[in-house]
Chain A
Amino acid sequence: MDELYKAAVDTQAPVMEPGYTFGTVTEKISAIVLTRPASNGWFVGFGIAFLLTMMMLYAIGYLFLKGIGIWGVTIPIGWGFAIVNFVWWIGIGHAGTLISAILLLLRQSWRNSINRFAEAMTLFAVACAGIFPAIHVGRPWLAYWLFPYPSTMGVWPQFRSPLMWDVFAVSTYATISALFWFIGLIPDMATLRDRATHPAARIVYGMLSLGWRGSARHWHRYETAYLLLAGLATPLVLSVHTVVSFDFAVGIVPGWHTTIFPPYFVAGAIYSGFAMVLMLAIPIRKIYNLEDFITELHLQNAAKVMLATGLIVAYGYGIEAFMGWYSGDRYDAFTIWNRLHGPYAVPYWSLLICNIFIPQLLWIKKMRTSPVALFFLSGVILVGMWLERFIIVVVSLHRDFLTSSWGMYYPTRWDWMTYIGTIGMFLAAMFLFLRLLPAISIFEMRTLLPEAEVKE
C-alpha cells in the first residue's frame, strides 16, 4: 500500500470498531430483532407514525369522495403538492440505491453497515412517492390505464410522452429495489432462522430464507447475481431521476425547459437521500447502540457526499440564473427575476439558504463529526430540497407566457395532511422494519472482520 494513502487511512475512524468476532457481530445485530423487547419509546414513535398514516388515509379517502378539487391545484398550477412530493420522495430513495449498488461497485466497504436500512429507506420512499401520481390522476380507480394492457377499448399508451417513460422508470426502480433488498436479506434470514427460539419466528424466517444453507456454490452464484444486479441498478438509479426531470424539461414552460435538469436532478436526489440516511442513521445508532458499526467514518463520508452533491445542485441553480440572462429570452429572464422578487420570493430565498448557504458548514470537520449537528443540518437540507421542487413545479407554472393565464397556488389542509401523512407512513414502515428485520446486513459485516480473510 502506498505510504501516503496508508497514513491518510490510519488517521480515519474505522469502518467497524475492533474486537468483534463473527459470533458477536451476529448476536449484536440479530438481538435487536430476536431478543430485545420493544421499548416504550418505540411504541410511542410507532404510534405517532401510525396515527399520521391514518390521517393520510383519511385525506385520501376524502379525496376519493370529493375529487381533487379539495386540493389547492387550479389552472394554471395543475401540478401542486402531489408532484412536488412525488419528486421529493423519489429523490430521497436514490441514496439507498447509490449506497447499495454504486458504492458496492466502487468497493467502498463502509457501505456494508448502512446499505440494508438505506435500501429499506429507498423502498418506503418509493412507496410514498408512488401514492402521489396515482391519486393525482383525477380518477384514481383508472390509474392502471397508465400501463399497456390489452383492453377492450383497443387503445395503447402514448409512448412519446415523458410521463409514460416515468411510469416505466419508477415501476422498474421499485421492482429492482425490492429484489435487491430481498436477495440481500436471504442469508440473514437464514441466520435469524437458526437463532430464533420462538417457533413462529423460526417458520417465518425459515420461509423467507428460502432454505439458504450457505453452500459455496450458492454463494458463488449469489455474489455474481448481486454484483450484476448492482451493475444494473447503477444506470437505473441515474435514469430514474433523469426521466423524472424529463417530465419537466421536455415541456416548454420557462423554468422547466433546460438541459441542465437531468444531472442536477440526480445530484439533488442523492443530496436529499443522504440527508435522510443521516436523519435515520443518527438516532438508530444511538438508540440501538450501534455506534461500533455505524461509526464516525460513516457520518463523515455521508457528510462529504452531501457537500459534493450540494455543490452540484448550487451549480445547477447558478446555470439556471446564468441562462436566464445569457439566453436573452425574456421569459427565461423573467422566470429568474420572478423567483427572486415575485410572490414566491420567500420560498426561493429559503431554498438558497437551506440548500446552498447553511450546508457550507460541512467544510468544517467539527460539523462533519458531530451527530447532533449533522442531524439538524440534514433536516435543513431535506426542507431545502422540498422547497426546490416546490419552486420548480409551482413557481414555473404560476407565471407563463400570457399574463391572462397567471395565477397563484395555495395548498389546502388536505394537501398538507396527505404530505405529512406520507412522512408518517414512511416512519411507521421504518419502525416495523427495525423490529422485524436485521437493520444491518449481518453477513456483509462478517466479511469486514479481519478473520474473514483467507490466509494462504
Chain B
Amino acid sequence: MKRDPVYGIMAEFDSATALVEAARRTHQAGYNKIDAYSPFPIEGLAEEIGFHRDEVPLVVLIGGIVGGLTGYLMQYWMSAVDYPLNIGGKPYHSWPAFIVITFEMTILFAGISAVFGMLALNGLPMPYHPVFNVPRFSSASKDRFFLIVFSSDPKYDPAATRGFLQGLGPRSISEVPS
C-alpha cells in the first residue's frame, strides 16, 4: 500500500477553551481519527476526541496482583519448601511475617506496571512523529493548542477538511507531511 504523503491537517488554537470547543465540533462533524495536543492535561479533552477506554487501571491491577502473588509465593517457597530453616521455633510458613514483603512487592509491581504500561499504551518512546514536522508544533509544549485530523479518516478530504477547520477560527492551519 502506498503511504499517503500527507499525515493530516493541523489547526492551532490560542486557548484550552478554544481547543476543547474545536475538538467537540470536529468530532460531532463526524471525524473520528483526530487528536488534540496541549501543553498540560485538560480535563475532558480526551473524551471530546472520542477516547473512552483507558486500560492503565487494568494494567496496574494485574501488575499488583502478580506482584503480591510473587512476593508471597516466593517467601513461602523459599522458607517452607526449598530451604526450611527453623528460626526460634517459628513455623516454616510464618504467614504474618510474610505480609510486609508481600505488600512491598505488590506496590513495586503495580508501580512499575503503571509507568511502563502507560508508556507502552501511549506508544512511547517514539523519537520520530510526523507532527514534529510542523515548525509551529514546538509551541505545543509551551502555550499553544493543536487539533489534527488524520488523513486516514474516512471523511478526510484535503480541501473540505481544511475548510472545516478554517471555520473553527484557528490561529493557523498547517498540512502535516508524513
**Residues of A participating in the B interface, judged by any CB pair closer than 8 Å:** 21-23, 26, 148, 154-160, 162, 164-165, 168-169, 172, 175-176, 179-180, 182-183, 187, 190-191, 193-195, 206-207, 210-225, 228-229, 232-233, 235-236, 239, 243, 246, 443-444, 446-447, 451-455
Q: Taking the complex as formed, is B3 at the interface, i.e. its CB lies under 8 A from any CB of chain A?
A: no
Q: Is the CB of B60 within 8 A of A221?
A: no
Closest 7 CB pairs of A and B: A22-B143, A225-B118, A210-B125, A156-B78, A220-B46, A211-B126, A194-B138
Q: A175-B112, A446-B40, A452-B16 are in contact. Are A168 and B122 (CB under 8 A)?
A: no
Residues of A within 8 A of B141 (CB): 187, 190-191, 193-195, 212, 214
Given contacts A225-B118, A446-B39, contact A214 B140 (CB under 8 A): yes
Given A207-B125, A236-B104, A239-B103, 7 further pairs, Cβ under 8 A: A23-B142, A160-B79, A172-B107, A217-B122, A220-B41, A225-B117, A453-B17
Is B54 an interface residue, CB under 8 A from the partner? Answer: yes
Which partner residue on chain B sits nearest A22 by CB separation?
A: B143
The interface residues of chain A lying within 8 Å CB-to-CB of B39 are: 22, 26, 187, 191, 214, 443, 446
Most buried by A among B42, B117, B137: B42
B121-133 CB contact bits vs A (8 Å, 1 = yes)? 1101111110110
- Which residues of chain A have C-beta atoms less than 8 A from B2's C-beta? none
The verdict on A223 contacting B114 (CB below 8 Å), with A160-B97, A211-B124 known, is: no
**Is A156 a contact partner of B112 (Cβ separation < 8 A)?**
no
What is the CB-to-nearest-CB distance from B55 to chain A, in angstroms, rounded to a whole number?
8
Q: A206 to B41: give the CA distance in the assembly, Å.
A: 20
Question: Most B CB atoms within 10 A — which of A214, A217, A453?
Answer: A214
Q: How far is the CB of A321 from chain B (nearest CB, A)?
A: 29
Counting CB contacts under 8 A, is B108 at the interface?
yes
A residues near B71, Cβ cutoff 8 Å:
168
Assess A148 versus B127: contact at CB under 8 Å? Given A22-B143, A219-B38: no
A68-B67 Cα distance, complex, nearest whole Å: 37
Q: Are A223 and B142 within 8 A (Cβ)?
A: no
Cβ–Cβ contact A207 & B110, under 8 A: no
CB neighbours (8 Å) of B4 from chain A are none
Pairwise interchain contact B36-A216, C-beta atoms closer than 8 A: yes
Residue in A closest to B110 when the chains form the complex, CB atoms: A232
A-B contact pairs, 11 of them (CB 8 A): A159-B98, A172-B108, A193-B141, A195-B142, A210-B125, A213-B129, A216-B38, A220-B46, A224-B118, A232-B114, A454-B20
CB of B100 within 8 Å of the partner chain: yes
Known: A26-B142, A216-B38, A232-B114. A451 touches B104 (CB 8 A): no
A95 to B177, CA, bound (A): 47
Highest count of chain A CB atoms <10 Å: which of B37, B60, B122, B143: B122
What is the CB-to-nearest-CB distance from B40 to chain A, in angstroms, rounded to a whole number? 4
Q: Is B175 an interface residue (CB 8 A)?
A: no
Smallest Cβ distance from B172 to chain A, in angstroms?
A: 17
Q: Bits for B118-158, please: 1 = Cβ < 8 Å to A, else 0.
A: 11011011111101100001111111000000000000000
- Report the bound CA distance from A175 to B14 in whole Å: 39
CB distance from B97 to the nearest CB of A (A): 4
Q: Are A191 and B126 in contact (CB under 8 A)?
A: no
The complex places the Cα of A335 from the Cα of B15 at a distance, in Å, of: 65
For A169, list chain B residues within 8 Å (CB). Answer: 100, 104
Docked Cα-Cα span, A154 to B81, in Å, equals 12
Residue of B15, B101, B104, B128 with most partner-chain A CB within 10 A: B104
